[in-house]
Chains A and B, each alone.
Chain A
Amino acid sequence: MTAVRVQDVTKSFGRTRALQGVTFSAGVGVTGLLGPNGAGKTTLLRMLATVLAPDSGSLQLLGRNPQDADDRLAIRRRLGYLPQEPGFHRGFSVFDFIDYVAILKELTDRQARHQEVRRVIDAVGLSDVAGRRIRALSGGMRRRVGVAQAILGEPELVILDEPTAGLDPEQRLRFRDLVSRIGEGRTVLLSTHMTEDVAALCPRVVVVDGGRTVFDGTPSALTGTADGRVWLAADRSALVALSLGSVQVLRRGASNGSSV
Chain B
Amino acid sequence: MPHLAVSDVRAKYGALEVLKGISFEIQKGEIAALVGPSGSGKSTVLRALMGLTPITGGAVEIAGEAMNYSSAREVRAARDRMAIVFQQYNLFQNMTVMQNLTLAPLKIKKWDKAEVTSEARRLLGLVGLSDKADAYSDQLSGGQQQRVALARALALKPQILLLDEVTSALDPELVNEVLDAIRKLADEGMTMVIVSHEMAFVREVADKVVFMDNGQIIEAGTPAAIFDEPKTDRARDFFSKILRH
Q: Do A and B bind each other?
A: no
Chain A residues in contact with chain B, CB under 8 A?
A: none
